[in-house]
Structure 1
Amino acid sequence: MTRISRLGTALGIVAAMVLGGSGCTVIPPNGPYTVNNDEGAGDPLSKPFQRMIAIPPQPGWGAEDTIRGLQAAMAAHADDPSVLADYLTPEARAKWTAAGPVTVIQDEYEVVVPPPRESETSMKITLKAHVAALINEDDSYKPTGGSWERTFELVKLPEGYRVSSLPAGLLLTQSDVARAYRPTNLYYVNRSTQDRLVVDRVRLRLDTMETFAQTVLERLLEPPTEALRGAVTSSFPADTKIESIRSGEDRVIINLSGQLDTLDLSTEETLRGQIRNSLNRNEIAKGRVIEILVDGEPYTVDRPDSVDQWLDDDVRDSAYYVDKGAVHYLTKDGAGGAVAGAAGEQREGYSHFAVSAGPNPLIAARTSTGISVAGLAPEGVWQEVVQGDDLTPPTWHRDGSLWTYDGKNGTLLKYDPVRQRTDPVRVPEELDRLDINQFRIARDGVRVAVTTGDETVQIGALTGEGTGMKLENLQLLTNTETGNEIKDIAWRDDEHLLVLVQATAGQTLNEINVGDGETTGVPLKDRLQSVAAFQDQVLADVTTKGGSKLMALSQDQQTWTAKIDTDGGAPLFPLG
Structure 2
Amino acid sequence: MTRTRRFAAVTAIMAAVTCTGSGCTVIPLSGPIAVSDVGAGDPLGRPFQRMIAIGPQREWGPEETIKGMQAAMAAYPDDPSVLQQYLTPEAKATWNASGPVTVIDDAFEIVAPPPGDGTETVQTVTLKGSSVASIKEDDSYVPTAGAWERPYELVKAPGGGYRVNALPPGLLLTASDVDRAYRPTNLYYLNRSTQDRLVVDRVRLRMKTTERFAQTVLERLLQQPTAALQGAVSTSFPPGTAIESVRSGEERVVIDLASPLDPLDLSAEDALRAQIRYTLNNNDVAKGRIIEIQVNGEPYAVDRPNSDEHWLDDSGDHAYYVSRGAVRHLGKDRPEGVVPGAAGEPREGYSDFAMSLSKDGPPLVAALTTTGISVASLTQDGRWQEVIHGESLTPPTWHRDGSLWTYDRDNAVLLRYDPAHGQAPERVSAPEVEKLDVTRLRIARDGVRVAVTTGKNTVQIGALTGGGTMLGNLQLLTTIEMGSEITDVAWGDDEHLLVLVQTKAGQILNEINVGDGETTGVPLKDRLNSVAALDDRILAEAETEKGTKLLELNQDRQTWATKLETDAGAPLFPLG
TM-score range, shorter chain: over 0.9
Q: Moved runs in structure 1, 4+ residues, more than 3 A?
A: 8-18, 23-28, 31-40
Structure 1 letter corresponding to 2:99: G
User: Which residue of structure 1 aligns with residue 21 of structure 2?
Assistant: none
User: Which residue of structure 2 aligns with residue 424 of structure 1?
Assistant: 427
User: Which residue of structure 2 aligns with residue 571 of structure 1?
Assistant: 571
Q: Is 1:392 paired with 2:398?
A: no
User: Which residue of structure 2 aligns with residue 461 of structure 1?
Assistant: 463
Contact 2:55 2:85 in 1 (8 A): yes
Structure 2 residue runs without a partner (length 5+):
19-23
User: Which residue of structure 2 aligns with residue 211 of structure 1?
Assistant: 212
Contact 1:15 1:34 in 2 (8 A): no
Contact 2:459 2:476 in 1 (8 A): yes
> 111-120 or 481-490: which moved more?
111-120
Q: Is 1:110 paired with 2:113?
A: no
Alignment partner of 1:53: what SS? strand
Alpha-carbon RMSD across the aligned residues, in angstroms, is 2.1
> 56-65 or 156-165: which moved more?
156-165
Contact 1:14 1:33 in 2 (8 A): no
Within 5 Å, give how 1:10-409 maps onto structure 2: 11-12=11-12, 25=26, 27=28, 41-118=40-117, 119-159=119-159, 160-314=161-315, 316-359=316-359, 360-409=362-411
Q: Could you say if the C-alpha distance between residues 331 and 36 of structure 1 is closer, same or farther in structure 2, counting changes exceeding 3 Å?
A: closer
Q: Could you say if the C-alpha distance between residues 203 and 8 of structure 1 is closer, same or farther in structure 2, counting changes exceeding 3 Å?
A: closer
Q: Could you say if the C-alpha distance between residues 224 and 26 of structure 1 is closer, same or farther in structure 2, counting changes exceeding 3 Å?
A: closer
Work out the CA distance in 2 between the residues paired with 1:137 and 1:24: 30
Alignment partner of 2:434: what SS? helix
1:288-332 per-residue CA deviation (whole Å, 9 max, x = no partner) reads: 000000111101000111112111112x22100001110000012
Task: Give the C-alpha shift of residue 39 in structure 1.
Answer: 12
Alignment partner of 1:165: what SS? coil
Work out the CA distance in 2 between the residues paired with 1:202 and 1:69: 28
> 553-562 or 431-440: which moved more?
431-440
> 113-122 or 129-138: which moved more?
113-122
Q: Could you say if the C-alpha distance between residues 188 and 8 of structure 1 is closer, same or farther in structure 2, counting changes exceeding 3 Å?
A: closer
Q: Could you say if the C-alpha distance between residues 248 and 348 of structure 1 is closer, same or farther in structure 2, counting changes exceeding 3 Å?
A: same
Work out the CA distance in 1 between the residues paired with 2:436 and 2:402: 27
Q: Could you say if the C-alpha distance between residues 206 and 10 of structure 1 is closer, same or farther in structure 2, counting changes exceeding 3 Å?
A: closer
> 342-351 or 3-12: which moved more?
3-12
Work out the CA distance in 2 between the residues paired with 1:492 and 1:170: 35
Structure 1 letter corresponding to 2:457: E
Task: Give the C-alpha shift of residue 436 in structure 1.
Answer: 1.1
1:94-149 per-residue CA deviation (whole Å, 9 max, x = no partner) reads: 11001000000000000011124442211111100101000000000000100011
Q: Could you say if the C-alpha distance between residues 186 and 16 of structure 1 is closer, same or farther in structure 2, counting changes exceeding 3 Å?
A: closer
User: Which residue of structure 2 aligns with residue 482 of structure 1?
Assistant: 482
Identity %: 65
Count, aligned residues: 568
Q: Could you say if the C-alpha distance between residues 35 and 358 of structure 1 is closer, same or farther in structure 2, counting changes exceeding 3 Å?
A: closer
Task: Give the C-alpha shift of residue 434 in structure 1.
Answer: 1.9
Task: Give the C-alpha shift of residue 37 in structure 1.
Answer: 11
Alignment partner of 1:219: what SS? helix
Task: Give the C-alpha shift of residue 9 in structure 1.
Answer: 11
Q: Could you say if the C-alpha distance between residues 77 and 9 of structure 1 is closer, same or farther in structure 2, counting changes exceeding 3 Å?
A: closer
Work out the CA distance in 1 between the residues paired with 2:39 and 2:237: 28
Structure 2 letter corresponding to 1:365: A
Alignment partner of 1:278: what SS? helix
Task: Give the C-alpha shift of residue 38 in structure 1.
Answer: 9.7
Q: Could you say if the C-alpha distance between residues 211 and 297 of structure 1 is closer, same or farther in structure 2, counting changes exceeding 3 Å?
A: same
Work out the CA distance in 2 between the residues paired with 1:348 and 1:110: 61
Alignment partner of 1:94: what SS? helix
User: Which residue of structure 2 aligns with residue 492 of structure 1?
Assistant: 492
Contact 1:33 1:52 in 2 (8 A): no
1:187-236 per-residue CA deviation (whole Å, 9 max, x = no partner) reads: 00000000000000000000000000000000000000000000000011
Structure 1 letter corresponding to 2:96: T
TM-score where L is the length of structure 2: 0.95
Task: Give the C-alpha shift of residue 343 in structure 1.
Answer: 0.2
Work out the CA distance in 2 between the residues paired with 1:131 and 1:59: 31
User: Which residue of structure 1 aligns with residue 535 of structure 2?
Assistant: 535
Task: Give the C-alpha shift of residue 275 in structure 1.
Answer: 0.2
Work out the CA distance in 2 between the residues paired with 1:381 and 1:153: 74
Alignment partner of 1:432: what SS? coil
Structure 1 letter corresponding to 2:194: T
Structure 1 residue runs without a partner (length 5+):
none
Alignment partner of 2:81: what SS? helix
Q: Could you say if the C-alpha distance between residues 544 and 9 of structure 1 is closer, same or farther in structure 2, counting changes exceeding 3 Å?
A: closer
Contact 2:140 2:203 in 1 (8 A): yes
Contact 2:17 2:49 in 1 (8 A): no
